[in-house]
Amino acid sequence: MKPLWTRDFILAFVANFFMAFSFYLLMPTLPIHLLQAMHATPSFAGLVMAAYVLAGLCIRPFSGFLIDHFPRKPFYTAVFLLFTLCGVLYFGAVELWIVVATR
């Protein structure tokens, strides 16, 4: 029997924790930032938040196929880096269209 708490497991746990943490930190604070700092309308802030849900619904049918047809570790690493890059892009979002494109 292999031990559960290996180096790879701990690294995967920490990476997934911070990815989920950043996502769930962004969900409640992004609409407030859009409304107060960027002076967006409430309907536009709702549209920006809905864009993530719609993108998730559109990509889910293909994600299983992609994971099965590409080597998993490099694929997960690339997607994790892309997610991290998108999170960093929010810091440079000074206009609403940049937020929408990042979202």
* Cα–Cα distance, 61 to 98 (Å, whole number): 27
Would you say residue 83 lies in a domain?
yes
Q: Mean per-residue pLDDT for 83-90? A: 85
Q: Mean per-residue pLDDT for 77-98? A: 85
**Containing structural domain, residue 64:** 24-102
Would you say residue 8 lies in a domain?
no
Task: Answer yes or no: is pLDDT of 5 > 90.
Answer: yes
- Cα–Cα distances (Å) from 70 to 3, 19, 24, 28, 37, in that order, read 27, 22, 28, 34, 41
The tally of domains found in the chain comes to: 1
Would you say residue 9 lies in a domain?
no
Per-residue pLDDT tens digits for 34-83: 899 889 999 999 988 888 888 888 988 898 888 889 998 899 889 889 88
Task: Answer yes or no: is pLDDT of 103 > 80.
Answer: no
Q: Mean per-residue pLDDT for 17-29? A: 88
Q: Looking at residue 56, what is its pLDDT?
A: 82
Greatest alpha-carbon pair distance for the chain in Å reads: 57
Would you say residue 12 lies in a domain?
no
Q: Looking at residue 80, what is its pLDDT?
A: 87
Averaged pLDDT score across all residues of the chain: 88
* Structure-token match 């890059």, residue found: 85
Q: Looking at residue 7, what is its pLDDT?
A: 94
Q: Are 51 and 40 in contact (CB under 8 A)?
A: no
